[in-house]
Structure 1
């Protein structure tokens, strides 16, 4: 049974110590959204999972793996001091938004990286979706609905470094369809009555949007296993040219891998069909295509998390992906 919140005026109640770190609750991947009024739905943000620990003497930003990245998230840390409570732990996701308001992991990596980028750390936004500790009370055994009731007035309406990850009031199937149509990574479903438990849990579910298209196979990188393929090299059309869109290294059996290598070795390219300089690459004539399932596109026109689903000969009826048509 969920705990009830203690009254601050209760003199018999001692403050609970604030944990230095809490392993995050991690959502379980499922194929479709759950149904029922006990489920709440949010956008699945594509970024770095963070716990923001706020104490009178310090504010820390701790990653999912337990690393202290406080210095990387200066704007978030500064705003956390303004939330009006002496101590709290916020759970959420640090993201960078693209021009259409979608979280983009590639932009985030550039913003926190060392290389020069059009995006800087000041553009990173922290979407808070849970409250784990507040002013001497560990809230993890309270239901999600109660934790978010306390969180919402602190961060709702903020539009700078810290924002509220709002619940979407719709059924899961409808929300998931709209999320995918708008190019989002997916959605998250959480049980309103569930306490917060660390690790991968069935009370939190993630449903990812995937895309599936056809790309030209322009070669491969050999596997460490003799006679097999490590990665297929894929290309899309851009006008009359082929443009390299990344490598795919998963989705086939050992037998399929060996067969693909035999097919590609039988059609070696006289010259590289795409502009790619990488040691150990074996180019092939662009005569085969691959059906590929993937999550999204990066900012530099590469496939994110591609998985091989099948191959066939390229013919006049094959609709190869056009690089200038995908949503950015």
Structure 2
């Protein structure tokens, strides 16, 4: 009884210690958007997940893996100091937008990389989508809708390095269709009535857009398993020739891998069909094509996260992807 009385006597406004790190809530991948008014939808940003910690002693940017990347995100850190609160933990995604307003992971990698780049670190934007701690209060047990009500007036309307990740009030299936048509990575669905839980959770869902096209197979890299393929080497058409667009190392069974290798070994190329030097690679005449599902193009015109879906012989009716006529 004494313990119960003491617990009830604690004021609701008593400051709670600010966590040094909060393991992020991670969305579960599903095939289609959920239905129901309890779900909120947002754009799926393609960037680095960050928690921005604001304290009287300074601001830090912590990655999903727990690394301190404060120095890489100077503009975000500087703006976080001006948000008007003594202590905060904001959950969000750091991105770089392309000229069509879409987040582009390749541009982000260049902006934070050590190599010289046409993209400056000042172009990085932090899209804030959750508030975990505010002015001495841990908010994680609050429903998402209430956390975002507190977050919105802090970051909404800003056009600098920190911006609000808006909820899209629409039917999930329709929003997903439009997102994919506009070349976005996908959408996120979140339960409005749930607290914030670390780790991969069913109350946060991600639905990814996928592209599917046909590419010429110009060779392979052997696998460590005898008689099988480690990576298929793929090419697209560019003008009258072929250009290398990356390797694909997933999507087939062991049996399919062995069959592919037998087919390619039977059509060796006298010289590489594409400008590529790769130690240990076997080059084949581009007489076979692969159906490949992938997420996007990188800035150096390579397929991002390709997955093999099937192969067939190249014929007059087959159209190999043409770099000249398709936007990247």
Say yes or no: does 1:203 pair with 2:171: no
For 2:11 and 2:259, the matched residues in 1 are separated by: 74
For 2:113 and 2:31, the matched residues in 1 are separated by: 33
Alpha carbons of structure 1 residues 301 and 12: separation in structure 2 relative to 1, 3 Å: closer
Runs of 4+ in 1 over 3 A off after TM superposition: 10-13
For 1:66 and 1:164, the matched residues in 2 are separated by: 23
Q: SS in structure 1 opposite 2:197?
A: coil
TM-score by length of 2: 0.96
For 2:159 and 2:319, the matched residues in 1 are separated by: 43
TM-superposed CA distance for 1:325, in Å, is 2.4
1:290 is matched with 290
TM-superposed CA distance for 1:327, in Å, is 2.3
Q: Which runs of 5+ in 1 are unaligned?
A: 1-9
2:3 is matched with none
Say yes or no: does 1:73 pair with 2:73: yes
For 2:198 and 2:181, the matched residues in 1 are separated by: 32
TM-superposed CA distance for 1:174, in Å, is 0.6
1:116-172 CA-partner distances (Å, limit 9, x unpaired) = 110011110000000000001000000000000000001011111000000001010
1:152 is matched with 152
For 1:199 and 1:11, the matched residues in 2 are separated by: 30
2:6 is matched with none
TM-superposed CA distance for 1:239, in Å, is 1.4
1:256-276 CA-partner distances (Å, limit 9, x unpaired) = 111111110100001110001
Residue-pair matches, total: 319
Contact 2:215 / 2:235 at 8 angstroms: preserved in 1?
Answer: yes
For 1:251 and 1:226, the matched residues in 2 are separated by: 18
TM-superposed CA distance for 1:11, in Å, is 6.4
For 1:302 and 1:246, the matched residues in 2 are separated by: 5
TM-superposed CA distance for 1:234, in Å, is 0.3
Larger displacement relative to structure 2 (116-125 or 10-19): 10-19
Contact 1:272 / 1:283 at 8 angstroms: preserved in 2?
Answer: yes
Contact 1:129 / 1:165 at 8 angstroms: preserved in 2?
Answer: yes
Say yes or no: does 1:37 pair with 2:37: yes
Counting only pairs closer than 5 Å after superposition, residues 233-252 of structure 1 correspond to structure 2 as: 233-252=233-252
Q: Which runs of 5+ in 2 are unaligned?
A: 1-9
1:125 is matched with 125
| RMSD across aligned positions (CA) | 1.0
Contact 2:13 / 2:137 at 8 angstroms: preserved in 1?
Answer: no
Q: SS in structure 1 opposite 2:269?
A: coil
TM-superposed CA distance for 1:13, in Å, is 3.7
